[in-house]
A and B are shown apart, each in its own frame.
Chain A
Amino acid sequence: MSDPKIDGFELKPGFRGMASDTGSDQTMFKGVHWGKAMMWIFLLSDTFVFSCFLISYMKGRGSTPAEWPNPSEVFALDAFGVPVPLLLIALMTFVLITSSGTMALAVKYGYEKNRKMCGWLVLATAVGGLTFVGMQAYEWSKLIHEGVRPWENPFGAAQFGSFFFMITGFHGFHVSIGVIFLFIYAYKVFAGHYENGGKRGWFTTMKGDYVEIEILGLYWHFVDLVWVFIFAFFYLW
């Protein structure tokens, strides 16, 4: 990933390198697997989608004269009979960061061709993601039970519900898709699809490589990254 080498081609560092990479023949992203570049471009477009959601939330919350529900009360959870503000959300944040860490280590062990460690860490990431989705399902059902709807809620401004379900729902959908792929790739790693030159994947004649774990990791870290912003703007603000 760092310091790529290309035969008969001198790669310059820094902004000078950026200028010559951008102006060069054939490949702009030197030493970057095409799949990785495509994942990054997908994530960039996804960033815009999530930004639009969060910006519309900002506009909705800022422009309503009604009182906005206090998130630290709405999302409080009773622990041993005492209401703790944002307890579930804090736990979800820690679960997602833990799974992000295991994913980062999985990528590292993948590149070191440590099949067992890589597989177990991808599996641990999948389990972390599944825990997150489970906690989110619990949170949704709790709020729906308390009467939160996209068009009304008992706590304050009516817009709260629609933004909540839209933003956390779209994020939860990303996590769910990620979990499915994490399980598939945990299987692929354990089955040795990236060993000995790699096994052919679906819909392609190309051989598998541990770079696929890094591409999957980019997606998973992005899911964590979006949660950082949702946590800050929706739950804490």
Chain B
Amino acid sequence: MENTDQINEKDKKTEASTHKIGIYLWIWGLLFVLSFFSYMVDWYQFQGMLRWSLILFFMFAKAGLIMAFFMHLFWERYALVNVLLWPMTAIACFIFLMAAEFQYTLFTRMFYFFVGGAA
């Protein structure tokens, strides 16, 4: 009795570690479609906020699909997922800091190069 239980347990384990092929093919197809659309953003030369928001949308959609399904994060336990995703907030902070910094640098360059400095 104990023996058969162990065998069943083992079978279940190998089954749990693979997923149906359909999910991979779906994600694969979606990645192709999203890449095609992000290329179309350049093809039709969208400009301004529309361009930037479309680029970001397709980028995050692709990145999310790759991480969730190809890298299996969707199926991992939260202990691993959270260790990996929370540090990204530090990167987001860094982006905001440097965005403020480049605006200031641009301002001072404009001021000294074109206005000549002394007000």
Q: Could you tell me which A residues sit within 8 Å of B by CB distance?
A: 1-5, 11, 14-15, 17-18, 21-22, 28-32, 37, 40, 44, 47-48, 51, 55-56, 58-65, 72, 85-86, 90, 93-94, 97, 100-101, 103-105, 108, 111-112, 214, 217-218, 221-222, 224-225, 228-229, 231-232, 235-237
Contact = CB atoms under 8 A, between A and B. Distances in A.
Interface string B54-80: 011011001100110111100111111
Given A55-B94, A221-B66, A232 B55 contact: yes
A210 to B, nearest CB: 9
A44 B59 CA distance: 19
B79 A28 contact: yes
Tell me what chain A mostly uses at the interface: helix, strand, loop, or mixed. Answer: helix
Tell me what chain B mostly uses at the interface: helix, strand, loop, or mixed. Answer: helix
Contacts of A217: 70-71
A231 to B, nearest CB: 7
B106 A65 contact: yes
Nearest to B102: A62
Given A59-B98, A104-B24, A228 B63 contact: yes
Nearest to B85: A44
Interface of B: 9, 12-14, 16-19, 21, 24-25, 27-28, 31-32, 35, 38-39, 41-43, 45, 51-52, 55-56, 58-59, 62-63, 66-67, 69-72, 75-80, 82-84, 87-88, 91, 94-95, 98-99, 101-103, 105-106, 109-110, 113-114
Contact of B41 (A59, A112, A236): A236
Contacts of B99: 58, 62
B24 A101 contact: yes
A15 B17 contact: no
Given A58-B102, A62-B102, A232-B58, A32 B80 contact: yes
A90 B35 CA distance: 8
A93 B79 CA distance: 32
B78 A17 contact: yes
B43 to A, nearest CB: 7
B59 A232 contact: yes
B63 to A, nearest CB: 5
Given A105-B24, A225-B67, A72 B42 contact: yes
Contacts of A37: 80
B21 A108 contact: yes
Nearest to B43: A85
A204 B17 CA distance: 25
